[in-house]
A and B are shown apart, each in its own frame.
Chain A
Amino acid sequence: MQQAGRVSDQTAFFLNGVVVEAGSTKEIFFNPREERTEAHISGRFG
Chain B
Amino acid sequence: MEQRIHYREQIRGIHQELLRMGVLVEENLNKALRAVKTQNRELASSVIDSDPRIDAMQLEIEERCTVAIATEQPVATDLREIMVAIKIASDLERIGDHARHLARALDRVSPELMSESFPVIESMAEIGIAMVHDSLDAYVDLDADRAREVALRDQQINVLHRDLYDRIISAMKKAPERVEEGTSLVFINRFLERLGDHVTNICEWIVYARTGEHPEL
Q: Which residues of A contact B (CB under 8 A)?
A: 1-2, 5, 29-32, 38, 41-45
Instruction: Decide: A38 and B77 in contact? CB cutoff 8 A.
Output: yes
Smallest beta-carbon distance B130→chain A, Å:
31
Instruction: Decide: A43 and B4 in contact? CB cutoff 8 A.
Output: yes
Q: Give the CA-CA distance A41 to B79 in the complex, in Å.
A: 11
Instruction: Decide: A2 and B212 in contact? CB cutoff 8 A.
Output: no
Q: Check A41/B75 contact, CB under 8 A, given A30-B212, A31-B212.
A: yes
Closest to A44 in B: B3
Additional A-B contacts beyond A31-B212, A42-B77, A43-B7 (10; CB < 8 A): A2-B73, A5-B75, A29-B76, A30-B76, A30-B212, A38-B77, A42-B4, A42-B78, A44-B1, A45-B1
- Chain A residues whose CB sits within 8 angstroms of the CB of B77 once the complex forms: 38, 42
Instruction: Decide: B3 and A29 in contact? CB cutoff 8 A.
Output: no
- Chain A residues whose CB sits within 8 angstroms of the CB of B112 once the complex forms: none
Interface size class on chain B is: 10 to 19
- Classify the interface of chain B: helix, strand, loop or mixed: loop
Cβ of B74 within 8 Å of any chain A Cβ, yes or no, is yes
| Count: A-B pairs, CB below 8 Å | 34
- Chain A residues whose CB sits within 8 angstroms of the CB of B75 once the complex forms: 1, 5, 29-30, 41-42
Cβ of B216 within 8 Å of any chain A Cβ, yes or no, is no
Q: Give the CA-CA distance A16 to B182 in the complex, in Å.
A: 71
Q: Give the CA-CA distance A44 to B72 in the complex, in Å.
A: 12
Instruction: Decide: A31 and B76 in contact? CB cutoff 8 A.
Output: yes
- Chain B residues whose CB sits within 8 angstroms of the CB of A1 once the complex forms: 73, 75
- Which residues of B in the span 1-39 have a Cβ within 8 Å of any Cβ on A? 1-4, 7
- Chain B residues whose CB sits within 8 angstroms of the CB of A41 once the complex forms: 75-76
Instruction: Decide: A43 and B212 in contact? CB cutoff 8 A.
Output: no
Closest to A27 in B: B212
Q: Give the CA-CA distance A45 to B3 in the complex, in Å.
A: 7
Closest 3 CB pairs of A and B: A31-B212, A29-B75, A38-B76
Q: Give the CA-CA distance A2 to B69 in the complex, in Å.
A: 13
Instruction: Decide: A44 and B2 in contact? CB cutoff 8 A.
Output: yes
Closest to B213 in A: A31
- Chain A residues whose CB sits within 8 angstroms of the CB of B74 once the complex forms: 42
Smallest beta-carbon distance B118→chain A, Å:
46
- Chain A residues whose CB sits within 8 angstroms of the CB of B79 once the complex forms: 30
- Chain A residues whose CB sits within 8 angstroms of the CB of B78 once the complex forms: 42
Q: Give the CA-CA distance A44 to B15 in the complex, in Å.
A: 20
